């Protein structure tokens, strides 16, 4: 098989994916708003909120796939960037409450009033403006990722060491955000939002719009990731993933490439978090829990590492299963299933759903050994672990 055909086939997969996301992004909100409640085709509001959440997770999964699938950086702390983006948005939403808080204080959020804070901490200033908050959604996770990556990649912390210190990072942030003195509402986090850009967060129209916006963000993130991985930069990233030392000896500034893609990925995670918060209605430190980040990695593994589409798909599939299995008689067994999924996927489906599907399609279409080995050498469809 020629590389040309391969690209084309992948593009078709990507196109189908984008078409589905776009269709959902348009049809689901329309059906929710225009059709009468209770009619067969109407999507109930609770499903809109639920699927909006999945779409945000899909963006997070994409951001992880970008660095893990294409650059071999396994971050076990990506939930931290997601949560930071979420907190930036949450702070904006808190400031929007204004005098409608339970104490009617025009400036201070409720949790500061009842703990007798007298004035707003400096880092809360500016968040009453949407543009500033939106900027912070990108800037705060980006800056943290940049600093962290700058230190880690330059000193060549790789592989499991990197995974473990990213985990330490998110754990440290978890502890920090738990502290009430830190000024982010402690364990309860930020909640009881009223409106966003003047629209009521609870209103059906706002929910539908947020859903459409999340789909749009997913499409954009996907396109950005695609353009990164299919550019020359992407080839270098794959080279780094497969043989970091060799790439370095060939003269590539490995740390700069890694730093770029890590920061980009963190910003994407931040956007996902920012869209997640108004739809879920709360942001609190548990989003920093190391377990959450690890779970996000498993979405990518389930869907197919290094396939982008698979990452998004994995996030949606696993979360749907979670929603389904945590109700009813199966409720106490959800953790068994999640755990078994982790084990079975890594053992039996190392390429994930999409990766396996791609491999199967290639194999069935091209039975000739020559073509098969060409496909096997291609890094995009055949992710190989950096060791």
Partner 1 sequence: MPTNLSARLCTLVLSLVLIAFALPAFAGPFEDAVAKFANDDYSDTEEAIGAVASSGNKLAFPIINALQDGRLMADPDSKKVYVTGTDGKSIDAATGEAVASVPDSASAVRLNNRLRRSVDAALGSLTLQSPDLGARLQAAQSVFKSHEETALDPVESALAKETNRSAKTALGEARAAILLFKSDATEVQKLEAVATIKARGDQEALALLSDIGTDQPASVAKAATSAIGSIQNSLAVWSTVQNAWYGLSLGSVLLLAAIGLAITFGVMGVINMAHGEMVMIGAYTTFVVQEVIRTRYPALFDYSLLIAVPLAFLVAGAIGVLIERSIIRFLYGRPLETLLATWGLSLVLQQAVRTMFGPTNREVGNPSWMSGAFDLGQITITYNRLWILVFTLAVFMILLAMLRYTALGLEMRAVTQNRRMAASMGIATSRVDALTFGLGSGIAGIAGVALSQIDNVSPNLGQSYIIDSFMVVVFGGVGNLWGTLVGAFTLGISNKFLEPVAGAVLGKIAILVLIILFIQKRPRGLFALKGRAVEA
Partner 2 sequence: MPTKSIHDIAASFSRRGVLAASAGLMLGLASISGAKAADDTIKVGVLHSLSGTMAISETTLKDTILFLIDEQNKKGGVLGKKLEAVVVDPASNWPLFAEKARELITKDKVSVVFGCWTSVSRKSVLPVFKELNNILFYPVQYEGEESERNVFYTGAAPNQQAIPAVDYLMKEEKVKRWVLAGTDYVYPRTTNKILEAYLKSKGVAQEDIMINYTPFGHSDWQTIVADIKKFGSAGKKTAVVSTINGDANVPFYKELGNQGIKAKDIPVVAFSVGEEELAGIDTKPLVGHLAAWNYFESIKTPANEKFIKDWQAFTKNPKRTTNDPMEAHVIGFNMWIKAVEKVKSTDPDKVIDALPGIEAPNLTGGVSKMLPNHHITKPVFIGEIKGNGQFDVVWKTPGLVAGDAWSKELDGSKDLIGDWVGKKCGNFNTKTNKCLGSGS
Does residue 72 belong to the site contacting partner 2 (CB under 8 A)? no
User: How far apart (Å, rounded) are the C-alpha atoms in residues 349 and 176?
Assistant: 37
Structural contact between residues 287 and 48, judged by C-beta atoms closer than 8 angstroms:
no
Regarding 310 and contact with partner 2 (CB under 8 A), the answer is no
**176 half-sphere exposure, CB direction, 13 A CA radius:** 10
Q: Count how many Cα atoms sit within 13 Å of the Cα of residue 307 in the half-sphere of its side chain.
A: 31
DSSP 223-257: HHHHHHHHSHHHHHHHHHHH-HHHHHHTT--HHHH
* Per-residue binder mask for partner 1 (CB under 8 A), 149-188, x = binder: --xx-xxxxxxxx-xxx-xxx-xx--xx-xx---------
- Binding to partner 2 by residue 198, rule CB under 8 A? no
347 contact choice in partner 1, partner 2, none (CB below 5 to 8 Å, kind-dependent):
partner 1
Give 119-130 as a DSSP string: S--GGGTTTTSH
> Site residues for partner 1, window 204-243 (CB under 8 A)?
none
**Residues 112, 120 contacting (CB under 8 angstroms):** yes
By the rule CB under 8 A, 326 interacts with partner 2: yes
Q: Which of 26, 53, 39 is nearest to 319 (CA)?
A: 53
- Which of the residues 155 through 194 are near partner 2 (CB under 8 A)? 175, 178-180, 185-189, 191-194
Q: Which of residues 30-89 bind partner 1 (CB under 8 A)?
A: 74, 76
Q: How far is the CB of 245 from partner 1 (least distance, A)?
A: 7
340 is a site residue for partner 1 (CB under 8 A): yes
Shorter beta-carbon distance to partner 1: residue 26 or 160: 160
Q: How far apart are CA 133 and CA 93, in angstroms?
A: 9
The yes or no reply on residue 375 touching partner 2 (CB under 8 A) is yes
* x-or-dash string of contact with partner 2, 219-258, rule CB under 8 A: ----------------------------------------
Q: Quote the tokens at residue 168.
A: 């330490």
Q: Does 384 bind partner 2 (CB under 8 A)?
A: yes
* Greatest Cα-to-Cα distance within the chain, rounded to the nearest angstrom: 75
Report the sign of the C-alpha dihedral through residues 175, 180, 184, 185, in that order.
positive
Binding site for partner 1 (CB under 8 A): 74, 76, 148, 151-152, 154-161, 163-165, 167-169, 171-172, 175-176, 178-179, 245, 290, 294, 297-298, 301, 332-333, 335-336, 338-343, 345-347, 350, 385, 387
């Amino acid at each position: 098989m020629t590389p040309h055909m391969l690209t084309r086939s992948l593009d078709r997969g990507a196109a189908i994916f984008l078409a589905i996301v776009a269709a959902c992004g348009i049809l689901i909100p329309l059906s929710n708003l225009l059709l009468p409640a209770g009619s067969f085709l109407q999507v109930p509001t609770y499903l809109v909120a639920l699927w909006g959440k999945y779409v945000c997770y899909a963006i997070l999964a994409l951001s992880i796939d970008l660095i893990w699938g294409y650059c071999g950086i396994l971050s076990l702390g990506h939930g931290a960037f997601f949560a930071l983006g979420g907190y930036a948005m949450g702070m904006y939403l808190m400031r929007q409450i204004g005098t409608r808080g339970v104490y009617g204080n025009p400036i201070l959020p409720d949790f500061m009033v009842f703990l007798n804070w007298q004035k707003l901490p400096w880092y809360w200033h500016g968040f009453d403006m949407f543009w500033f908050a939106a900027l912070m959604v990108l800037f705060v996770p980006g800056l943290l990722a940049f600093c962290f990556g700058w230190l880690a990649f330059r000193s060549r912390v790789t592989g499991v060491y990197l995974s473990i210190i990213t985990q330490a990072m998110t754990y440290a942030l978890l502890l920090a955000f738990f502290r009430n003195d830190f000024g982010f509402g402690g364990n309860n986090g930020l909640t009881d939002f009223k409106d966003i850009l003047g629209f009521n967060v609870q209103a059906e129209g706002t929910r539908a719009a947020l859903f459409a916006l999340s789909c749009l963000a997913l499409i954009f993130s996907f396109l950005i990731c695609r353009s990164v991985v299919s550019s020359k930069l992407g080839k270098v990233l794959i080279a780094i993933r497969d043989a970091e030392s060799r790439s370095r000896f060939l003269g590539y500034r490995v740390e700069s490439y890694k730093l770029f893609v890590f920061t980009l990925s963190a910003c994407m995670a931040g956007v996902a978090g920012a869209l997640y918060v108004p739809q879920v209605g709360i942001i609190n430190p548990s989003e920093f829990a190391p377990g959450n980040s690890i779970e996000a990695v498993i979405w990518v593994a389930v869907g197919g590492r290094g396939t982008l589409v698979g990452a998004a798909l994995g996030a949606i599939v696993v979360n749907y299963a979670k929603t389904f299995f945590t109700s009813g008689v199966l409720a106490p067994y959800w953790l068994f299933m999640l755990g078994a999924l982790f084990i079975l996927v890594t053992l039996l489906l190392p390429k994930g759903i999409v990766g396996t599907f791609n491999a199967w399609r290639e194999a069935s279409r091209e039975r000739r050994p020559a073509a098969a080995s060409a496909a096997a050498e291609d890094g995009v469809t055949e992710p190989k672990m950096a060791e």
